[in-house]
């Protein structure tokens, strides 16, 4: 085992042999390194004031990602290249093109959020040429401007000169950084701690299985987009912690012909791109998963294993008929995703078992699929209700198979099996939908909470089913907010 964490902070090689396993990158930067340009705002990954840029090897290339330092654990930076807003300072005092664009467009007002915006724009600058306005808005959706200065910030993003990118010092340094990160890479399991609590980071699936077998009580950390809040908000002291972030095998996405196979550590950005090939509605829904910083860190396996009743991906995958691959030691078993969720925060996962992969079937020709997310705001918000629906029709137009899955309606993501039964053998029309809506109360007894009342949830659940009917039988009728916004912008 290797008893240190190694990463690059700018040009500096950092080696850490001992630390609190759940110490956040934000606290380390501000308190230990005095890099106070990175701000603390919400401490839960919502506002983007703490945004830094982290580069990691992706095959032979270097992929830079904006992430929230407030919920990222310091030891999980092993093998990464870390950039903070201080790294944009040049030796001759000139501003980086991203900074200059912010100045020219008056994009900084009170200044508190500015470093986070600059770092999100830097990640966009390093990865993409000439991004569209929509792409810019997506990249900045996880950054909150408390002075409502979004228009000049977007103008600054448009002004970033793509021609200057080739002369950028970070771009020019990429081959050197790639070589240095490759030199740091190994297949050793990392084992460090603070003397009381332990942190492990295996580099292979086999090593992970062995570690979980030895420490079945361990907390598994994928992107920490939820586990990070257990620490920053819940003040939990986790021990031990096993990070999955060094296991390249678990990031793999493959196309087997009739389905897609996602390793549990495939992040939401890559998952979204792959699932968009199954349905553009999956692409639209995943665009609204937190901000880009959250999507860069969050994973498909974490989204499922977390077991949240309001996670948006499980209802969609249940409607598609997804299957989980679970592993314990050298043994694997498969089960339908819907069977994995037993009760609130309780899953069919044996001691020492972990999610290794998710198998998502492609849509057969002629099937109907729909997904809707209802939340109080469009971007970066948790669902009140999420509905995902799948129908197969026979040659006569009758419904031969139906899967109606909901999130936010119960303690787990769950199918509405009574409503499904009301549809089977029927024509796909108003009468069938009305009968299915009428029996939704037999499938769900939703709670009233801060996001919605039980009455509202039941009403919306039925309305989403009716929306599915409208979209699939009168496609000229637009019911999509994204589509209406696009028409308003460009029409």
Nearest to 183 by CA among 82, 79, 55, 81: 79
* pLDDT of 455 over the 90 cut: yes
Query: Using an 8 Å Cβ cutoff, are 65 and 53 in contact?
Result: yes
The pLDDT score that the predictor gives to residue 489 is 42
The pLDDT score that the predictor gives to residue 481 is 59
Residue 273 CB contacts under 8 Å (≥ 6 apart), including other chains = 283
Least confident of 10-19, 160-169, 305-314, 474-483: 474-483
Output the average pLDDT for the chain. Answer: 93
pLDDT band at 26 (very low <50, low <70, confident <90, very high): very high
Report the Cα 60 to chain-centroid distance in Å: 24
The pLDDT score that the predictor gives to residue 298 is 94
Residue reference for tokens 């309305």: 463
pLDDT band at 381 (very low <50, low <70, confident <90, very high): confident
Rounded CA-CA distance 121/293 in Å is: 12
The pLDDT score that the predictor gives to residue 246 is 96
Model confidence over 170-218: pLDDT tens digits?
999 999 999 999 999 999 999 999 999 999 999 999 999 999 999 999 9
**∠ CA(189), CA(194), CA(200), 5° rounding?**
20
Mean pLDDT of 423-449: 96
Rounded CA-CA distance 249/218 in Å is: 21
Rounded CA-CA distance 113/115 in Å is: 6
* pLDDT of 484 over the 50 cut: no
pLDDT band at 482 (very low <50, low <70, confident <90, very high): low
Mean pLDDT of 9-14: 98
CA distances from 88 to 37, 99, 163, 184 (A): 11, 8, 18, 24
Backbone angles phi, psi at 471, to 5 degrees: -65, -30
Across the beta sheet with 331-336, the strand order is 253-255, 259-263, 354-361, 323-328, 331-336
The three-state DSSP-derived secondary structure of the chain is: CECCEEEEECCEEEEECCCCCCCEHHHHHHHHCCCCCCCCCCCCCCCCCCEEEEEEEECCEEEEEEEECCCCEHHHHCCCEEECHHHHCCCCCCCCHHHHHHHHCCCCCCCCCHHHHHHHHHHHHHHCCCCCHHHHHHHHCCCCCCCCCHHHHHHHHHHCCHHHHCCCHHHHCHHHHHHHHHHHCCCCCEEEECCCCEEEECCCHHHHHHHHHHCCCCEEECCCCCHHHHHHCCCCCCCCEEECCCCHHHHCEEECCCEEEEECCCEHHHHHHHHCCCCHHHHHHHCCCCCHHHHHHCEHHHHHHCCCCCCCHHHHHHHHCCEEEEEECCEEEEEEHHHHEEECCEECCCCCCEEEEEEEECCCCCCEEEEEEECCCCCCCCCCEEEEEEEEECCCCEEEEEEEEEECCCCCCEECHHHHHHHCCCECCHHHHHHHHHCHHHHCCCCCCCCCCHHHHHHHHHHHHHHHHHHHHCCCCCCCHHHHHHHHHHC
Model confidence over 289-347: pLDDT tens digits?
889 999 999 999 999 998 888 888 999 999 999 999 999 999 999 999 999 999 998 99
Largest CA distance in the chain: 74
Model confidence over 222-231: pLDDT tens digits?
999 999 999 9
Model confidence over 70-125: pLDDT tens digits?
999 999 999 999 999 999 999 888 999 999 999 999 999 899 999 999 999 999 99
Cα dihedral sign for 160, 161, 165, 169?
negative
The pLDDT score that the predictor gives to residue 339 is 96
pLDDT more than 70, % of the chain? 97
Nearest to 316 by CA among 397, 396, 223, 383: 383
Residue reference for tokens 């003040």: 235
Mean pLDDT of 382-404: 95
The pLDDT score that the predictor gives to residue 485 is 44
* pLDDT of 46 over the 80 cut: yes
Model confidence over 141-178: pLDDT tens digits?
999 998 888 999 999 999 886 657 778 899 999 999 99
């Amino acid at each position: 085992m290797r008893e240190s964490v190694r990463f690059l902070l700018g040009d500096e090689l950092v080696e850490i042999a001992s630390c609190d396993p759940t110490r956040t990158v934000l606290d380390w930067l501000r308190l230990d390194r005095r890099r106070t340009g990175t701000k603390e705002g919400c401490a839960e990954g919502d506002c983007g004031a703490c945004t830094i840029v982290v580069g990691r090897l992706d095959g032979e290339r270097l992929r830079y990602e904006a992430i929230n330092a407030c919920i990222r654990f310091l030891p999980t930076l092993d093998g990464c290249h870390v950039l903070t807003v201080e790294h944009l300072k040049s030796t001759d005092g000139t501003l980086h093109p991203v900074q200059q664009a912010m100045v020219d467009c008056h994009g900084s007002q009170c200044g508190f959020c500015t470093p986070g915006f600059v770092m999100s724009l830097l990640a966009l600058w390093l990865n993409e040429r000439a991004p569209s306005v929509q792409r810019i808005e997506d990249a900045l959706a996880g950054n909150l401007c408390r002075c409502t200065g979004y228009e000049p910030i977007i103008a600054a993003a448009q002004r970033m000169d793509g021609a200057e990118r080739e002369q950028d010092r970070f771009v020019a340094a990429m081959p050197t950084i790639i070589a240095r990160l490759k030199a740091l890479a190994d297949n050793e399991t990392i084992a460090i701690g603070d003397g009381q609590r332990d942190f492990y980071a295996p580099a292979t699936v086999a090593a992970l299985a062995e570690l979980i077998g030895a420490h079945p009580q361990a907390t598994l950390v994928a992107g920490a987009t939820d586990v990070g809040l257990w620490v920053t908000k819940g003040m939990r002291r986790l021990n031990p912690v096993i990070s999955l972030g060094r296991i390249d095998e678990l990031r793999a996405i493959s196309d087997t012909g009739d389905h897609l196979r996602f390793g549990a550590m495939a992040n939401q950005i890559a998952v979204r791109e792959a699932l968009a090939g199954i349905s553009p509605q999956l692409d639209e829904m995943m665009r609204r998963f937190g901000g880009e910083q959250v999507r860069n860190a969050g994973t498909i396996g974490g989204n499922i294993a977390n077991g949240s009743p309001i996670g948006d991906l499980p209802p969609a995958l249940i409607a598609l008929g997804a299957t989980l691959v679970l592993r314990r030691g050298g043994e694997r078993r498969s089960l339908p995703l819907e069977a994995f969720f037993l009760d609130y925060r309780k899953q069919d996962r044996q001691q020492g078992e972990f999610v290794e992969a998710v198998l998502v079937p492609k849509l057969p020709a002629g099937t109907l699929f729909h997904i809707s997310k209802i939340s109080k705001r469009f971007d970066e918000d948790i669902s009140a209700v999420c509905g995902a629906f799948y129908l197969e029709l026979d040659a006569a137009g009758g419904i031969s198979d139906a899967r109606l899955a909901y999130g936010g309606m119960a303690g787990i993501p769950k199918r509405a099996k009574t409503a499904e039964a009301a549809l089977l053998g029927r024509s796909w029309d108003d009468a069938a939908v009305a009968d299915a809506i009428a029996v939704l109360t037999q499938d769900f007894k939703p709670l009233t909470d801060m996001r919605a009342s039980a009455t509202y949830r039941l009403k919306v659940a039925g309305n989403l089913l009716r929306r599915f009917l409208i979209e699939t039988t009168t496609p000229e009728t637009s019911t999509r907010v994204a589509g209406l916004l696009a028409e308003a912008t460009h029409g």
